[in-house]
Each structure stands twice: as structure tokens, then as C-alpha cells.
């Protein structure tokens, strides 16, 4: 099942991260270039658009893009993984020259190298990288949180009001986001260990797979993602 499906499954059942350590070489040209690129608004906007295209639309896409945009671990993953790709794909002298260009004139350098850099970003989002795993964690979290927001939107509409998914709304949810992310990473890692990585690409799940995921929370093997919200009531 998809990462989003894992989250939806947990939420539907009403069972109301790992710390990422990066071994970056701060002086390498790949690290310098990756840091400059990931600070650029056009690059970040393109990545967020790609992330949104992987979500089903509506609240899920609105929430998912905001969560990714504000997730420091996601962007740290992008920076680290992009540095590795740059050093693997570019000869040392070309990498050094590109790094210098981005330091001297980031906007002009972006115009020349955007196609190549965005292709690398797409690769990070779809291959076995820390970036993809962090995105998977966010997608699972969206599967848990989006249905709650949809219900809140329905209540607001019944009262003649509107509820928009904004960065301010997501910031107000901050106390409960960490436990949801932690639970989702635990669920995904256990599912992959039990059934193999293919489970994360499937759009559906067998009864055995669904039962296993729900049992992880029921038995305490993975933390309850909604505990923080229940305890705050």
C-alpha cells in the first residue's frame, strides 16, 4: 500500500523519526552546491509541486505541501542526498566550477542548470534515498491528519464558516505532529521488514497486511499517533 494509505488505514481504525544523522563534508563542493541550490525559491517551489503531484488532491495535497515545506529534516535530506548525487555525476572540476557559479550568481547559475538539478530532485523523491523515506513519513502523516481536518471543515461549513489549510493552522497542530511522524516511520519500517518494500508501492493491501499494521499500534509496538491529541482534551 502507499505511504498515504498506511496513514489512512490507521485513522480509519480510530486507534484514537528515527533521528536522521547526516555525515556531510561541510567543505566538499557537492555539499556547498547542494546547500546553495536548496535555498533557492525556484528549486524549493518545484520540489513542493512535485510532492503535491504525488498526493491525491484536496486537503491531503494542501496539508502535505505545507508539512514538507516546513519540515527541516526533509530539506536536510534533500541537501545531503543531492550532494551525493552531484559528487557521483559531475567530474570534480565541473563540480567546483558549478559551486563557484552558484556562490557568485545563484540566479544566473540556476537558469543554466535548472533542468539537470530538477531531474536530480525528482530522482531523490522516487528512489531509495533518505529524501524519499522522509517524504514517505510525511505522506503517512497526511493520511492520519487529513481526515480530521476534513471533518473539522464539515463542522465549520455547517456553522456557515470556512476552514482553510494554512501554515498557521499547521503550526497550531505542532504539539501533535512529532508523535504522528514517529508512529508513521515505525509503521513503515515494520511493514517493509515483514512484507518487503513492495508494500509501500501498492495501492491496496491484503487483509494480513492491514491487520499487521493495526496490530502494531494496538500492541504498543509502534506508538499511538493520536495520543498527544487525546491527552490534550
How does pLDDT run across 158-187, given as a tens digit for each residue?
999 999 999 999 999 888 888 999 999 999
Q: Can you give the pLDDT at residue 147?
A: 92
**Domain parsing of the chain, residue ranges:** 3-231
How far is it, in rounded angstroms, from Cα 89 to Cα 82?
10
What pLDDT score was predicted for residue 226?
A: 80
pLDDT attached to residue 4: 67
The pLDDT of residue 81 is 96
Residues of the chain with pLDDT under 70: 1-27, 200-203, 228-233
The model scores a pTM over 0.85: no
pLDDT at residue 205, as a whole number:
75
Per-residue pLDDT, 84:
95
pLDDT of residue 19: 30
Question: DSSP letter string over 23-63?
Answer: ---TTSHHHHHHHHHHT-HHHHHHHHHHHHHTS-SHHHHHH
Q: Which of 17, 13, 9, 50 is nearest to 137 (CA)?
A: 17
Number of Cα atoms under 13 Å in the Cβ half of residue 215: 9
Candidates 150, 142, 151, 167; CA nearest to 225 is 142
Give yes or no for a contact between 19 and 153, defined as CB atoms under 8 angstroms apart: no
**Would residue 228 be called left, alpha or beta, if left means φ above 0 and alpha means ψ between -120 and 50 degrees?**
alpha
Measured at the alpha carbon of residue 31, what is the angle toward residues 64 and 94, in degrees to the nearest 5? 120
pLDDT of residue 227: 76
Residue 10's pLDDT is what?
60
Amino acid at each position: 500500500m502507499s505511504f498515504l494509505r498506511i496513514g489512512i488505514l490507521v485513522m480509519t481504525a480510530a486507534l484514537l523519526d528515527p533521528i536522521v544523522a547526516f555525515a556531510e563534508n561541510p567543505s566538499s563542493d557537492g555539499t556547498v552546491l547542494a546547500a546553495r541550490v536548496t535555498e533557492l525559491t525556484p528549486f524549493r517551489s518545484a520540489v513542493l509541486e512535485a510532492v503535491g503531484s504525488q498526493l491525491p488532491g484536496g486537503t491531503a495535497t494542501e496539508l502535505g505541501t505545507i508539512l514538507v515545506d516546513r519540515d527541516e529534516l526533509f530539506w536536510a535530506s534533500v541537501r545531503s542526498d543531492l550532494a551525493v548525487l552531484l559528487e557521483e555525476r559531475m567530474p570534480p572540476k565541473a563540480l567546483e566550477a558549478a559551486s563557484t557559479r552558484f556562490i557568485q550568481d545563484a540566479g544566473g547559475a540556476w537558469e543554466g542548470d535548472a533542468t539537470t538539478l530538477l531531474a536530480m530532485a525528482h530522482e531523490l523523491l522516487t528512489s531509495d534515498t533518505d529524501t524519499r523515506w522522509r517524504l514517505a513519513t510525511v505522506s503517512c502523516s497526511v493520511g492520519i491528519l487529513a481526515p480530521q481536518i476534513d471533518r473539522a471543515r464539515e463542522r465549520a461549513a455547517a456553522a456557515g464558516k470556512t476552514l482553510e489549510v494554512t501554515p498557521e493552522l499547521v503550526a497550531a497542530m505542532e504539539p501533535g505532529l512529532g508523535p504522528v511522524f514517529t508512529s508513521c516511520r515505525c509503521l513503515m519500517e515494520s511493514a517493509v521488514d515483514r512484507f518487503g518494500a513492495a508494500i509501500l508501492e501498492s495501492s491496496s493491501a491484503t487483509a494480513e497486511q492491514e491487520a499487521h499494521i493495526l496490530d502494531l499500534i494496538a500492541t504498543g509496538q509502534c506508538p499511538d499517533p493520536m495520543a498527544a491529541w487525546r491527552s490534550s482534551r
